């Protein structure tokens, strides 16, 4: 049994969770659940980044202790993970002095002992909104494009990390594929950055300016900056720096870091350099997804188009949101969300698609065979093949020579659908894997029309039984393929057919009455207005 370690970024608690946070979590959960289905020992991490001056100011404005303030904010992110039915193994947070601080300080000491941390004078621009240093090229008309504010000019003594020292080595590891970055456009983006050359980065700030954070080992006048504080969560959650590092030994390096494109350079430049300096293995792959827009525009409080995932879940259910995020949003480019589009996808693909198919199949089994269906003999099944033909061409004149018809629905599924599905999932192409589920659904709908069991039952009950068996087998396969994407929907289908997820249990289908999987919604306009 292999291992699989997957992470989301840790989310900064200064803001309320939005649809982008939900998106990263759902993508990661789908991949994690798939690897669980492969019987791999899987560890799925998420969490929150809680330090910084911004949280201190917000806590003061709210009249609360900062520790209590960030705890309340953290609970909202924990609740979102629960509402989305994420299967995360752990939830790490940077203000945890017992679990996180020792590992962060240990890594600092490792970098320092290797000669990669030094003290120097920092002069530059600091964006309070980002709590990050920026450069002139990051600004538009002299202002931060996200916060529309002029950054402060800061001159102070900080500790620095020798990031420039590792420029060539990081470039080599990315080009060789040792550190894989998906998609290729993001890989090229980082390689271009490395061509320009990395500069050493500020690694601390005076504690008078950032009092809420991890003290620099041996210098209480300085507080760790975000790099050694936040990025180390990926290893401190595994016990790095604790008395028991067995989990770290077992799961590190990470198989997959999942994140949005805005934080790629931190994870593909600074984080690898820190690991190389500390003589630790690099993560295997960084998956960079696009952003979600709302109505074709970037979500913004000013525009009033920020989508609250809690509201969508409460109104339509987590399963339907998980569907939309995994299939309707392109993984590697920016996607768009509106309630109208959501409802259209729900009605078309969930209510009229999976829900309608499950209802039709279960109703026919219930009405024609008293809700029970045992597997027919192979000969009977072969008499109602999937109407799908493959043409083989003569190698000399390219004329068609043989037309091979699939002998059964199960053969079509096992040889045409599932191999592609597993390839897509192992390559993290969840959009294509989800599309295959609905491609199979389309084939099964065609199979219904070709064989018309509602007419066949009058003339050939045995053949009708074989047709319905194939349709129920197809439905069970859809449930199994949907397991990482929509686990509750899969569970309902398995329960409806009285089977488990393992195909070895599919010897007999006993249909139960269950509520509709996806009740049809009101019209998009009326529903969205409520």
Examine the pLDDT at 101 and tell me if it is beyond 90: yes
Task: Give the pLDDT confidence score for residue 522 in this predicted structure.
Answer: 65
Q: What is the pLDDT of residue 524?
A: 43
Note the pLDDT tens digit of each residue in 140-190.
Answer: 878 887 667 788 888 889 999 999 999 999 999 999 999 999 999 999 999
Average pLDDT over residues 193-211: 94
Mean pLDDT of 286-313: 88
Higher pLDDT, 33 or 388: 33
Indicate whether 427 pLDDT > 70: yes
Tell me the CA distances in angstroms from 118 to 105, 109, 114, 134, one per residue in order: 15, 12, 11, 21
Q: What is the mean pLDDT of residues 275-288?
A: 98
First and final C-alpha spacing in the chain: 49
Q: Is 53 exposed, middle or buried (0-12, 13-18, 19+ CB in 10 A)?
A: middle
Task: Indicate the domain borders of the chain.
Answer: 350-510
Give the pLDDT band of residue 38 (cuts 50, 70, 90): very high
Q: What is the spatial distance between Cα 110 and Cα 108, in angstroms, rounded to a whole number? A: 5
Span 124-142, mean pLDDT? Answer: 75
527 pLDDT band, cuts 50/70/90, is: very low
Q: What confidence score (pLDDT) does residue 405 get?
A: 61
CA dihedral 149, 153, 156, 161 (to 10 degrees): 70
Do the Cβ atoms of 39 and 287 come closer than 8 Å?
Answer: no
**Domain 350-510, classified CATH 3.90.1150.10, yes or no:** no
Q: Above pLDDT 70, what percent of the chain? A: 93
Tell whether the model's pLDDT for residue 387 goes beyond 90: no
pLDDT tens figures, 319-332: 999 999 999 999 99
What mean pLDDT do residues 88-109 have?
Answer: 98
3-class SS string, 463-493: HHHHHHHHHHHHHHHHHHHHCCCCHHHHHHH
Is residue 115 predicted with pLDDT exceeding 60?
Answer: yes
Q: How many helices (H) and strands (E) does the chain have?
A: 23, 22
Task: Say whether pLDDT at 90 is over 80.
Answer: yes
Read off the pLDDT of residues 442-455 as tens digits, 9 standing for 90 and up: 999 999 999 999 99
């Amino acid at each position: 049994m292999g291992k699989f370690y997957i992470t989301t970024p840790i989310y900064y608690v200064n803001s309320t969770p939005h649809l982008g946070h939900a998106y990263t979590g759902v993508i990661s959960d789908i991949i994690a659940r798939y690897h669980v289905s492969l019987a791999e020992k899987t560890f799925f991490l998420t969490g929150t980044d809680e330090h910084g001056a911004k949280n201190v100011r917000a806590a003061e404005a709210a009249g609360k202790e900062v520790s209590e303030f960030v705890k309340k904010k953290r609970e909202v992110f924990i609740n979102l993970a629960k509402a989305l039915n994420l299967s995360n193994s752990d939830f790490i947070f940077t203000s945890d002095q017992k679990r996180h601080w020792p590992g962060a300080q240990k890594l600092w000491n490792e970098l320092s002992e290797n000669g990669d941390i030094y003290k120097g004078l920092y002069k530059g621009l600091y964006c309070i909104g980002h709590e990050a240093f920026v450069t002139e090229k990051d600004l538009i008309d002299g202002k931060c494009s996200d916060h529309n504010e002029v950054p402060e000019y800061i001159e102070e003594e900080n500790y620095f990390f020798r990031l420039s020292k590792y420029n060539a080595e990081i470039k080599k590891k990315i080009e060789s594929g040792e550190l894989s970055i998906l998609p290729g456009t993001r890989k090229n983006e980082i390689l271009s950055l490395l061509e320009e050359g990395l500069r050493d980065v500020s690694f601390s700030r005076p504690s008078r300016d950032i009092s809420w954070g991890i003290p620099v080992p041996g210098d209480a006048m300085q507080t760790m900056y975000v790099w050694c504080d936040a990025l180390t969560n990926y290893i401190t959650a595994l016990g790095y720096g604790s008395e028991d590092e067995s989990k770290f030994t077992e799961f590190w390096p990470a198989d997959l870091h999942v994140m949005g494109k805005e934080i790629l350079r931190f994870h593909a430049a600074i984080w690898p350099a820190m690991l190389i300096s500390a003589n630790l293995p690099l993560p295997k792959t960084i998956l960079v997804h696009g952003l979600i827009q709302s109505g074709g525009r970037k979500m913004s409080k000013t525009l009033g188009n920020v989508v609250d995932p809690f509201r969508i879940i409460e109104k339509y259910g987590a399963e339907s949101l998980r569907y939309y995020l995994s299939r309707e949003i392109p993984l590697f480019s920016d996607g768009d969300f509106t309630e109208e589009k959501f409802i259209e996808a729900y009605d078309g693909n969930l209510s009229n698609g999976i829900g309608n198919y499950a209802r039709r199949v279960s109703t026919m089994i219930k009405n024609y065979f008293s809700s029970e269906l045992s597997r027919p003999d192979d000969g009977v099944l072969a008499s109602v093949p999937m109407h799908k033909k493959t043409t083989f061409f003569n190698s000399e004149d390219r004329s068609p020579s043989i037309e091979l018809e699939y002998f059964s629905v199960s053969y079509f599924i096992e040889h045409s659908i599932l191999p592609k599905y597993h390839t897509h999932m192992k390559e993290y192409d969840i959009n294509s894997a989800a599309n295959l589920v609905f491609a199979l659904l389309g084939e099964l709908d065609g199979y219904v029309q070709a064989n018309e069991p509602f007419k066949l039952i009058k003339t050939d009950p045995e053949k009708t039984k074989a047709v319905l068996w194939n349709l129920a087998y197809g439905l069970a396969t859809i449930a199994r393929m949907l397991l990482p994407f929509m686990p509750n929907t899969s569970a309902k289908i398995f329960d409806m057919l009285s089977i488990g997820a393992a195909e070895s249990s599919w010897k007999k289908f006993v249909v139960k009455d269950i509520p509709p999987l996806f009740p049809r919604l009101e019209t998009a306009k009326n529903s969205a207005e409520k």
